[in-house]
Amino acid sequence: MGQSMNAGGGRNWAVLVVEDDPLVRATGVDLFVDLGLRTYGAYNGADALRLLEEKPQIRLVLADVRMPGMDGTQLAQEIARLRPDIRVVLTSGYVGEEQVAGYPFVPKPWRAEVIAAVVDTP
């Protein structure tokens, strides 16, 4: 991706949390907001793709693996096709890293220090 996620000073990019459970989505959004990032939430893959089209400043997507309709892996593939500048990190409380080979993975429940590491990884 060219631009490091570690922004030190002002961050001019945003994050998108894609999660079908509204409470979990709100938690994810709050974690990134606490890190000083503009953060958006989407409830499914179609909503995420719409937001990515509307918000070119989104550079990082945290997407649940298991969602109705388009799952997180399918969403990641579509994002790679449409916006290869975006880093996608998959997450789940039900599947492990081995099921999402090829993508960075963060297990649920999320821990603040792990989310901070995701932001600081180029």
Q: State residue 108's pLDDT score.
A: 93
**For residue 103, what are the domain limits?**
14-120
- Tell me how many domains the chain contains: 1
Q: State residue 66's pLDDT score.
A: 94
Q: State residue 95's pLDDT score.
A: 77
Nearest Cα residue to 102 out of 72, 82, 122, 66:
72
Burial string for 12-30 (b: 16+ CB within 10 Å, else e) reads ebbbbbbbbeeebbeebbe
pLDDT in tens, 9-24: 457 899 999 999 999 9
Q: Which CATH number fits the domain that encloses residue 46?
A: 3.40.50.2300
Burial string for 54-82 (b: 16+ CB within 10 Å, else e) reads eeeebbbbbbbbebeebbbbebbebbeee
Q: State residue 9's pLDDT score.
A: 45
Q: State residue 5's pLDDT score.
A: 45
Q: Please list the ranges in the chain whose pLDDT falls under 70.
A: 1-10
